Amino acid sequence: MHDVFFFTDIHGMYDLYRAIMDYCNEQDPEAMIIFGGDACDRGRDGYKIMKELLDNPYVVYLKGNHEDMFVQAAMEIKHCFQFETNDRKKIHDTLYFCRGFDYRYQSIQNVLYNGGIDTLIDWIMDGMNMEFVDRIAHLPLTFSTDTCDFCHAAGVYQTFERVSNAEYNGFPIDSWDSESLLWTRSGFTLGWKHNRTVIFGHTPVPYLYEYMEVPETLLQPYKWTPPNGMEMDGAKMDMDTGACFTGTAYVLNTLTMKAQGFEDLEVNEKEIRKHDIKKIEVIQF
């Protein structure tokens, strides 16, 4: 059986992304790699990472809320602007011009306010490829293996009524809307199916420490197992360690439940084109 790896929310940090991908390939060249969404924005190389994920036959690429925002903004740009230049500064200034309107260019503004200027510029300079946009728009929202379920956000749960009438592997059909799977941060302590773990990102674990009312410890993935006696006692696991802010990301081997950590030593040095990445601790869940 080949390994199944999961990581998420790499947010344009290309060297960190590359270190994780190389590690997975070293462990098992034919491993399945599940990426949980939010490849783009905040860091400078989001568009490059999205393209590589789409073109890798071993990757299951799930949609995140930042991919969703990119699609909406790209469609708005296509309908509202024509760019006849590859001058990065001129494209930058045109996009920032959109910030001056209260009721127009809302999708573009949403991406700008969420750190996506480089993602949009790189897509425009690459010819505003709408086939690429369509592929991002149709990324899956969920994926499941024998024991684990994967999505971007933590706004998912199971109730006894929801699953009592049928066995299933994964998410019941038509049970979730995109808001729950892409955006919602609540529901972390609500139930999940017995003997299964739902694994996601979206909410950096430092924010979960306060939400869960537990002492803040190391910046690492957080797994929550419900107390004994809950009808829906499956586990939930947040893998988002805020890579673009902390320089730290983990990749989880879902067969062994071991997470290998990586750290970008120059996370705030944006002018450095090649960052040094080091391995950090391995965590056993």
Q: Name the helix (H) or strand (E) containing 197.
A: strand 192-200
Helix, strand or coil for residue 193? strand
The pLDDT assigned to 34 comes to 98
The pLDDT assigned to 160 comes to 46
pLDDT along the chain (285 residues), means of 10: 96 97 97 98 96 98 98 95 88 91 91 96 96 97 91 70 49 64 82 85 84 70 79 84 94 97 88 88 93
Q: Is 0.85 surpassed by the pTM of this model? A: yes
Who contacts 227 (Cβ-Cβ below 8 Å, separation ≥6)?
Answer: none
If you search the block for the tokens 């969420």, which residue do you land on? 114
Yes or no: say if 220 and 205 are a contact pair by the CB < 8 Å rule: yes
- Report the distance separating Cα 95 and Cα 216, nearest Å: 39
Yes or no: say if 153 and 187 are a contact pair by the CB < 8 Å rule: no
The pLDDT assigned to 113 comes to 95
The pLDDT assigned to 73 comes to 97
Yes or no: say if 272 and 234 are a contact pair by the CB < 8 Å rule: no
Who contacts 42 (Cβ-Cβ below 8 Å, separation ≥6)?
Answer: 11, 12, 114, 115, 116, 244
